[in-house]
Amino acid sequence: MAERLRMDAEYLELRTKHPFVIARGGRSEYRTVWVKLRDVDGNEGWGEAAPSKFYGETAETIMAALPHLEGALPSDPFDLEETERRLEGTMRYNAAARSAVSAALHDLAAKRLGIPLYRMWGLDPAKAPRSTFTIGLDTPERIREKVKEAAEYPVLKVKLGGAHDVDILRAIRETTDREVRVDANCGWTVKQAIAMLPVLREFGVTVLEQPLPPSQLDGLGEITRRATIPVIADESCETAADIPALVGRVDGINIKLAKCGGLREALRMIAVARTHGMVVMVGCMIESSLAITAAAHFTPLVDIVDLDGAALLANDPFVGAGIAGGQVTLPDGPGLGVRRR
């Protein structure tokens, strides 16, 4: 009889050290879902689904989607490519839920081989770039404190798109001369973004992420033409299929597992972006070290890493990939190499 994988799931209640605020709003309490697959020999594969209302998911929709996805599980955990397609065919959207199942299957497959996932993919963990650490929207006063608290991180990512963007950049530059990248999270109009370009230059910003709402691709193209720094599409780029329309309009793309739906799709996005000479970034949600580690395994393939989701937490339930001192370190245990704290 064919082997059957069993699925279990439970909620994880996460808390950030500070309320985390971006252009769309913010909070301190986050609920994600821990997905566990078990094979007949008792091997376990783990994944985490971090919902984003922006992409139409909550922890509760993830929990409701999982029994449907369980029906699409393979009998052979190495059947990764076909399974991801089948998960997508079973349930469109629900990318975070699907990505947790994909991560758990990859964890299980690499554990059965007794090797880390990055080794299963033939990647050199020493090639992982440094990760940024994010400073959310706040008052200039609090921003100065947060920048000081983040002293160990050599590259900062600053959330803009609110009413006090120039004040925030000034507060940061008064506090540090570290590298600063900016994410406007769709918060600007074309006119505002163009007005901000000289300001970004004045404050030495090196990367601009998603200045405009997702569908404004021509506007993105106009900003990219005028910008002297790379412009990266995040909310405008969910899966590999979004990349052709972005070619020539942005310099690069930001991959997140909770947007793209799985690790195979993430690798496909890297391949497609590279074909077009684009910069490749990997980002994250507010999520524990479990989801962060799944994404960290392919960081040797990318240029820009923003995997600080777990570093922002006060109660990370897992130990896995780290970004201490800004350097991404991959665990060398089998599979994802994640364990309970």
Query: Per-residue string for binding with Mg ion, 135-174, x by CB under 5 A?
Result: ----------------------------------------
Residue 183 or 242 with smaller CB distance to Mg ion: 183
Pair type for strands 304-305 and 318-319? unpaired
Candidates 183, 287, 308, 316: give the one binding Mg ion (CB under 5 A): 183
CA distance 98 to 227: 36
Residue 73 or 155 with smaller CB distance to Mg ion: 155
Residue 230 or 334 with smaller CB distance to Mg ion: 230
Asked if residue 238 binds Mg ion (CB under 5 A), the reply is no
CB of 209 to Mg ion, least distance (A): 5
Q: Which two tokens stand for residue 34?
A: 């821990």
Span near Mg ion by CB under 5 A; candidates 26-34, 51-59, 90-98, 204-212: 204-212
Residue 80 or 278 with smaller CB distance to Mg ion: 278
Q: Which residue is nearest to Mg ion (CB)?
A: 234
CA distance 148 to 46: 35
Residue 165 or 183 with smaller CB distance to Mg ion: 183
3-class secondary-structure state, position 142: helix
Query: Applying CB under 5 A, what is the total number of residues that bind Mg ion?
Result: 3
CA distance 138 to 22: 9
CB of 282 to Mg ion, least distance (A): 11
Strand partners, 269: none
CB of 335 to Mg ion, least distance (A): 28
Residue 80 or 160 with smaller CB distance to Mg ion: 160
Span near Mg ion by CB under 5 A; candidates 5-13, 46-54, 196-204, 232-240: 232-240
**Number of other residues whose CB lies within 10 A of the CB of residue 168:** 22
- Which of 83, 108, 110, 111 has its CA nearest to residue 98? 83
Residue type, 272: V
What is the widest separation between alpha-carbon atoms in the chain? 67
Residue 101 or 281 with smaller CB distance to Mg ion: 281
Tokens 């959330």 belong to which residue?
Answer: 159
**Number of other residues whose CB lies within 10 A of the CB of residue 250:** 28
CB of 58 to Mg ion, least distance (A): 20
CB of 283 to Mg ion, least distance (A): 6
Span near Mg ion by CB under 5 A; candidates 195-203, 207-215, 270-278, 287-295: 207-215
Residue 111 or 256 with smaller CB distance to Mg ion: 256
- Tell me how far CA of residue 48 lies from CA of 11, 155, 262, 290, in angstroms: 10, 26, 11, 6
CB of 185 to Mg ion, least distance (A): 6
CB of 187 to Mg ion, least distance (A): 11
CA distance 118 to 122: 6
Asked if residue 234 binds Mg ion (CB under 5 A), the reply is yes
- Which of 116, 113, 127, 103 has its CA nearest to residue 267? 103
3-class secondary-structure state, position 77: coil
CB of 183 to Mg ion, least distance (A): 4
Q: Which two tokens stand for residue 151?
A: 């002293």
Residues binding Mg ion (CB under 5 A)? 183, 209, 234
